[in-house]
Amino acid sequence: MKNQMIRSLTFQDGNAENAMNFYVELFDNSKIINVTRWSKEQPNMEGKIMQATFELDGNIFMCSDSPPIHDWNFTPAVSMFIECENEEEIKRLNSKLSEKGKVMMSIDYDYGFSKKFGFIQDQFGVSWQLNLN
């Protein structure tokens, strides 16, 4: 399995481009690598993202506007975990990710296992754990 890379792929309900742009703007050293769009042959999907690849601070992610309606959505049981370098960073990420999202564990509470910790589900349904040691 040479050159095998495990990547996170998120299926968005028509919001792939908005989600990708939000994350690329939020994280340093980030960029959009490739975007393939649905053509007019795919009913109601023309112009939406068939598959996109983007980089967030050295980590590769993928997203897609999937045409089938799925019976499932994101679960907090699988989340992105970020080790923040300082208090300013954890506060900034917490503020941006929780906007229009849901705070599941506030960074304002002392959980006893780190200096600060927060658990958020963002506006696109993706869960993020923020940690400051």
pLDDT tens, residue order, the chain (133 aa): 455 477 788 878 889 999 999 999 999 999 999 999 999 998 888 999 999 999 999 899 999 998 777 777 777 788 999 999 999 999 999 999 999 999 999 999 999 999 999 999 999 999 999 999 8
Cβ atoms of 79 and 128 closer than 8 Å: yes
Cβ atoms of 90 and 119 closer than 8 Å: no
CATH number of 80-132: 3.30.720.110
Q: Which of 62, 61, 64, 60 shows the shortest CA–CA distance to 49?
A: 64
**What does the domain layout of the chain look like in residue ranges?**
8-65, 80-132
Tell me if domain 8-65 and domain 80-132 are identical in fold: yes
- The tokens describing 66, both together, are 């999937």
- The one-letter code for the residue type at 3 is N
Predicted pLDDT at 26: 97
Q: Please give the helix or strand (H or E) that residue 65 lies within, else none.
A: strand 59-65
Q: Report the CATH fold assignment for 8-65.
A: 3.30.720
- Token match 């923020």: residue? 130
Q: Which of 32, 45, 35, 27 shows the shortest CA–CA distance to 97?
A: 27
The model's pTM: 0.88
Cβ atoms of 84 and 37 closer than 8 Å: no
Predicted pLDDT at 1: 42
